[in-house]
Amino acid sequence: MTRSLIVEADGGSRGNPGPAAYGSVVRDATTGVILAELAGYLGEVTNNVAEYRGAIAGLAFARELDAEASVEIRLDSKLIVEQMSGRWQIKSPDMRKLALEARAIFPPGRVTYTWVPREKNKRADALVNEMIDGALARGDKSIRRVDGLPTEDASADDVVGSIDLERSRAVVEEQAARRPPTAMIGWADLGMPTVTMLARHGATALSLEKRFSGRGGLDAPLAAIGMAQAEALAEEMMRRDPVARIIASPLLRTRQTAQCVADRLGVSVEIEDGFAECAFGDWDGRTFAEVKQEWPEALEDWLSSTAVAPPGGESFEACRERISAARRRVVEAYAGERVLVVAHVTPIKILVSMAVDAPLSSLYRMELPPCSLTTLAWFPDGNSSMFSFAEAAHLRAVPVPDGT
């Protein structure tokens, strides 16, 4: 009987590139027993290199154990899972070398790659941090713990070489019988929703100065801090459940932000004109204070009614019509998929108001940091839900200028 093994692999870099390490946990697939914990310090490399090295180390140990085994390798890197599964191209020559090295360890068809969320890969992640900490503090270069390793799994509490397989299976079955059901009892099946993760673009020079910046005005590129925010967003999307599509507004700042994420995920960017920012007409490029001084009555009217447009611009009600049409196109085209939409303040606020059935005027009460994430679900029966709003924890490491 062919032996089945599981490799849980991870890698990380503090700085990307920076001090980096990999971590791999090798388990028996039948019993869940941990057969080895492996880690190695890599010096200064990127996250992707470290993650590939974790996969390679785990596969190499699995081959040491049994060259005839079948292996499932689990990673929280969607990039590596998709590349090694052959669904995404490998553009980087360095990544191609690592992929070839990984593929050479076992014959084709004996290794499968599975994406798991980060919380399901905690043991490998902990090894990465243990290794980096040890290397920086004491100069340690590797960790190799094998044979008889204690495990947190109650179904695998025997040591390697003395495991009672029948007892282990009995424990697993008993625990499964006691475990509460994971289904949401009592809820109607509304069908698979289309999930839109809405990301605001990174900061531009205009947004840093709090200037109106809409469709039809200056098509400003990302500022340096905006690029850093986009990189942080890309890192966050690597940690999230994978998205099937990336859709962006046609404006430059959203396309740049979307492309930054796309390069990390290996997903192409599609353009949806309907998600462009509102047109602010004569106010474009002006600060709120400048507009208040030059157009005091028009500004008051605009703030009092979503049906009023800035001089030469677009009202929020008109904006809602095209955004609603764009939402319908996305939901119909990508029903049941998980989609990242990179857009602007106004389209995201309008989509939120639509999802929670709030008046359009509610957008005056919302704040969205650059590259924040808002998640909305659109169900086949017409219902909708907001899962999160303006998440920005992934931006903590990005320095923010005073007053922004």
Give me the catalytic one of 82, 201, 231, 394. 201
Is 375:386 a contact under the CB 8 Å cutoff? yes
Burial class (CB in 10 A: 0-12, 13-18, 19+), 65: middle
**Crossing angle for the helix pair 47-65 and 93-103, nearest 10 degrees?**
10
Out of 37, 82, 277, 314, the active site residue is: 277
Task: Say which DSSP state 123 is in.
Answer: H
**CA 287 – CA 292 distance, rounded (Å):** 9
Crossing angle, helix 224-239 and helix 252-265, to 10 degrees?
40
Residue 256: φ, ψ to 5°:
-65, -45
> Taking a C-beta distance cutoff of 8 angstroms, is the pair 274, 322 a contact?
yes
Alpha-carbon distance 22 to 8, whole Å? 11
Rounded CA separation 173/235 (Å): 38
CB distance 243 to 339 below 8 Å? yes
Instruction: Say whether 201 is catalytic.
Output: yes
- For the annotated catalytic residues, the residue numbers are 201, 277
